[in-house]
Structure 1
Amino acid sequence: MIKTLKKIAPKSFIKLYKKIRLYKYGEIKISTSISDNQIYPDFCAKASLDSKLFNNFKREYAYNRILEHATEQDGHLYIEKIARNNKSLIQEKNIELFKQNDIWGNPRRFNYENIGLISPSTLRYINVYEDLLRLFKDLNDFKICEIGVGYGGQCRIINSISKTEEYTLVDLKKVLMLTQTYLDKYALNTSTRYKTMNELKTESYDLIISNYAFSELPGHIQDVYLNKVILNSKRGYMIFNNINPLSFNSYTKEQLLEIIPNSQLINEEPYSSSKNCIIVWGNN
């Protein structure tokens, strides 16, 4: 296969192909989460420094294995749910603000009726924002901490309309390089802080957000976040999936419901997987 690739593909692709094979067959070890496979954070760091790569990062395979893989059909499902619960979010004034999420990174966009061209991943962030507004009513003046932030799309969607006091983005150092490069392209309605797990102080927030990321961590790393911020904070919204290997010894959703006071399960809508759910607290 490598010999064939040498004839048709650039060296950069061949190098990536070799790394993916190492990952597939277990020679690259996942250490701190499902997404910490070395390929993904290394790519984020490179894209933050290389303007050509940054301009297309949302289409790169190394990135799409972790993020930006929502489908056109997913987008239709998000629109249907948002329109049912808070139609104003997808009407002209707001949707045009949200579409700015797609200016950088060259995402795959599709033409949706009454909305126009937009990426389904941006629609997914809007869908989460709709959940947050319905659960917590008003995010203005909130101090928010998001665990696992990708390129910062959720932060930008929220602060397109809401005016949060402070937004702390927590991820791997190399991932945060891309996050900050991306968010610095926008004038946000908030003050941003970029922190790794070990840089994060024990602190209380008005809202904790984690779209899948917390549930993909090993149990001993989850304990760090529980003790530093989750159990100290007033509210939380955590999309929980169930894909970790047993060796991670991660908390189950039932265990988290016992650990986090006044927490409850609600359905993820639309489902990204039949096993997924959302854990929320502080919404009463």
Structure 2
Amino acid sequence: MSKQPQVNDLWKYIGENEVNEDLIGDLSDFKTSQVNARLTYFDVETNGVRYLKTLIYNLAGRLGEESWARLRRTTGRELGNPYAVTYDGERVCLDYLRAVEELSFIEKHLDLDGGRVLEIGAGYGRTCHTLMSNKDIAQYTIIDLPTTMALSRKYLGAVLSPEQFERITFIPIDEIEASLGDAEFDLCINIDSLAEMDTATVGYYLSLIAERGRHFYVNNPVGKYADKSLDGHARGEAAIARALDAGLLTDVVDVHDNRAVRGQAGKFVRAYRPAEDWNCVADDWAAPFTWYWQALYQRPTPA
């Protein structure tokens, strides 16, 4: 063999500017530095979408056939141009992957056909969209901030049929008592917002659920985290302080330690029980976020 391996222009540049003895330093943190980003993984500071799509791709590969069927029945998911991947010919994003898995968890214990549902804090409406597309929901009521409700009303009006949309009632938080009347619900839902409310407001909603609901599905964090490496506290320390103080579960947890998260599960189940006599039917980790838990409660059947 007469020729020696040659260094191409790309790696000449990398060796001169990104990976060399001067930049490597003393090894104390090179695995979270630009040095290792060039050698083993994409730079996390500039490749967030790449990692998000990788997560979606891997989650899609684990979906069961029933969840794929739920996704296909939920048409219009592409509205809003979500970050998505194509898997087995189907475009899929993280929001709706979560939604069909949440529905799967609920359906193991509760038949929603013909049911009346109350959702507290609907975001843009992905949960309502998924349930209405897969189950014969008689009535779906959303309680939310007026500003957020403007989005969910517009979005659900676009992705649902007129007949489905007519079954949705939108109630701003300052009209709850006047607008609910004597309505009762087969299922009450809160996903990812009770942990952001003050304790008095959480108590109000749990009392409302205990009074008017038969079942309650909750999906929220088990506690707080203070790992600055996750986002560099980009919103500022004041925002971090507000977040750490909100909700019922304020213990700071190592959210990337599965034993620490599971150790908080008992507190989660106790904290979100609407009333002492309600039973927790099931609870489990709420994938994919490491520090989220989910539980389904049931009001006791009258004797």
Summarize the Cα distance change of 1:178–1:223 in structure 2 as closer, same or farther, 3 Å threshold.
Answer: same
Choose the corresponding residue for 2:74, options 80, 98, 122. 98
The offset of 1:101, in angstroms, is 1.8
Q: What do the CA deviations read for 1:101-138 (whole angstroms, capped 9, x no partner)?
A: 22x211122112x24222222211111111121231x2
In 1: Cα distance, 2:217 partner to 2:273 partner? 12
C-alpha contact (below 8 Å) 2:185/2:212 kept by paired residues: yes
Q: Structure 1, residues 133-157: CA drift from partner, whole Å, max 9, x if none?
A: 1231x21111101111111111111
Aligned Cα RMSD in Å?
2.9
| Residue 248 of structure 2: aligned partner | 250
AA matched with 1:263: C
Deviations 1:28-77 (A, max 9, x none): xxxxxxxxxxxxxxxxxxxxxxxxxxxxxxxxxxxxxxxx9x93244345
Does the 8 A contact of 1:268 with 1:277 survive in 2? Answer: yes
Cα gap change, 1:82 to 1:208, in 2 (>3 Å): farther
Unaligned runs of 5+ in 1: 1-67
Q: Which residue of 2 aligns with 1:272?
A: 289
Determine the C-alpha separation between the residues in 2 that align with 1:208 and 1:150. Answer: 15
- Paired position in structure 2 for 1:206: 186
- Tell me, in whole angstroms, the C-alpha distance in 1 between the residues paired with 2:76 and 2:142: 20
CA distance in 1, matches of 2:274, 2:188: 17
2:129 maps to which of 156, 177, 202: 156
**1:123 pairs with 2:103:** no
Q: Could you tell me which runs of 5 or more consecutive residues in structure 2 were left unpaired when the two chains were aligned.
A: 1-48, 225-241, 250-266
Q: Take 1:115 and 1:147, find their aligned partners in 2: how far apart are those partners?
A: 34
Deviation sequence 1:171-192 (CA, Å, 0-9, x none): 1101001110111112164600
1:205 Cα deviation from its structure 2 partner:
1.0
Change (3 A) 1:135 1:82: farther
CA contact (8 A) 1:142 1:206 kept: yes
C-alpha separation in 2, matches of 1:146 and 1:89: 21
For CA contacts below 8 A with separation 6 or more, give which structure has more relative contact order: 1
Q: How does 1:1-284 map to 2 (within 5 A)?
A: 71-76=52-57, 78-80=59-61, 82-83=63-64, 87-91=65-69, 94-102=70-78, 104-112=79-87, 114-136=88-110, 138-185=111-158, 186-187=160-161, 189=164, 191-201=167-177, 203-241=183-221, 242-243=223-224, 245=243, 247-248=245-246, 250=248, 253=268, 254-257=270-273, 259-260=275-276, 261-263=278-280, 266-273=283-290, 275-282=291-298
Alignment deviations for residues 6-39 of structure 1 (CA, whole Å, 9 cap, x no partner): xxxxxxxxxxxxxxxxxxxxxxxxxxxxxxxxxx
Q: With structure 2 as the length reference, what TM-score do the two structures score?
A: 0.60
More helix by share: 1
Q: Distance in 2 between matches of 1:106 and 1:245?
A: 29
Say whether the 8 Å CA contact 1:162–1:189 is kept in structure 2: no
Query: What TM-score results when the alignment is normalised by the length of structure 1?
Result: 0.64
Q: Number of residues paired by the alignment?
A: 208
Instruction: After TM superposition, give the deviation of residue 198 of structure 1 in Å.
Output: 2.8
The alpha-carbon distance between structure 1 residues 255 and 95, as it changes in their structure 2 partners (threshold 3 A), is closer
